[in-house]
Amino acid sequence: MEKKERINAAILKILRSQEGYVSGERLSRFFSISRAAVHKRIVSLREAGYELESVTKKGYRFLSYPDVVHAALLLSGVETSYIGKEILSFEELDSTNSYAKKVASECSEGTVVIADAQTKGRGRRGRDFHSAKGEGIFCSVILKPAISPGRAVFMTAIAAAAVSVTLSDLGADTRIKWPNDILLNGKKIAGILTEMSGDIERVDHVIVGIGLNVGNPVFPDELMATASSLKMEGYDFSRQEIFWKLIRNLEEMYEDYLGGDRQRILEILRTRSAVIGKEVFIYTEQEKKSAFVLDIAEDGSLLADIEGEGRKKLNFGEISIREKV
């Protein structure tokens, strides 16, 4: 991020944290730049859609921000230690996960790549993730945990728990369809795609991609039966508020995990599970199995009673809930 953008982010942070006015002189002293340079930054923010009032002899006052996913705005509301402290924002990308993968080795842990639209948003199993401009949160978090690849599956669990808790805190009661879907009123409103790079012993980095449908008024016909958005379900949350809370929950849970404490995350996964206690079909690469879901195991895998096979733990797969006839 260039210096001007950093100053914009810091100005926004200061103005947003104050009830009243902040003088141009104070800002100029704080950033060690001239008052004219402060004014230039304010003008550039206004041009980007921020409403910043200025009153002679009083200074500047924050009124509102536009519905954008600019790094400067997002940085101004992040309250974490490292996740989201570096943000790379784009109007459009093919896929934030693909971009994050390319830059991960040069980025610090916790860097977030976010785009207002994706032209090739990716889901699990080679599917597309519908990513229309301005309607969702499409972001990828670069994490560098010192763990073996086998434990990286738990990153999806952490992200699913963080998304679910964030939305519930805001008032939308969501369920987690193991391993990576978040449901609201039975429909998918968010998905997680975790990808990693490393060798057999150690993970180099993990990209946790989160796609959340916020303002979509409608979906393509083929998705209408299964997908929904917060707006379609009657919730009017701002993308920025969701992002700030999500990043905070994600960091808290990731820190718990690194510190060896999985209990809170597991409790969230279990109490909010859409599949525990349900008859389901489990699809793996090769087959479709009927099963009854018993629990989420300590390592984040699914514990199920599989027809003809008995109790088993599954690390991956896709689930569809069998409707009772």
Catalog residues that contact ligand BTN under the rule CB under 6 A.
Answer: 95-97, 118, 121-124, 127, 129, 138-140, 180, 191-193, 209-211
CB of 188 to ligand BTN, least distance (A): 7
Task: Specify the residue, 140 or 166, whose C-beta has the smaller distance to ligand BTN.
Answer: 140
Comparison of 45 and 207: residue with beta carbon closer to ligand BTN: 207
Nearer of residues 45 and 242 to ligand BTN, judged by Cβ: 242
Minimum distance of ligand BTN from residue 159's CB (angstroms): 10
Judged by CB, which is closer to ligand BTN: 75, or 210? 210
Shortest Å, Cβ 184 to ligand BTN: 14
Residue nearest to ligand BTN (CB): 191
Query: What is the closest distance, in whole angstroms, from the C-beta atom of residue 287 to ligand BTN in the complex?
Result: 20
Comparing CB distances to ligand BTN, the nearer of 96 and 273 is 96
Q: Please give, one letter per residue, the 3-state secondary structure of the chain.
A: CCHHHHHHHHHHHHHHHCCCCECHHHHHHHHCCCHHHHHHHHHHHHHCCCEEEEECCCEEEEEECCCCCCHHHHHHHCCCCCCCCCEEEEEEECCHHHHHHHHHHHCCCCCEEEEEEECCCECHHHCECCCCCCCEEEEEEEECCCCCHHHHHHHHHHHHHHHHHHHHHHCCCCEEECCCEEEECCEEEEEEEEEEEECCCCEEEEEEEEEEECCCCCCCHHHCCCECCCCCCCCCCCHHHHHHHHHHHHHHHHHHHHCCCCHHHHHHHHHCECCCCCEEEEECCCCEEEEEEEEECCCCCEEEEECCCEEEEECCCEEEECCCC
- Least Å from the CB of residue 179 to ligand BTN: 10
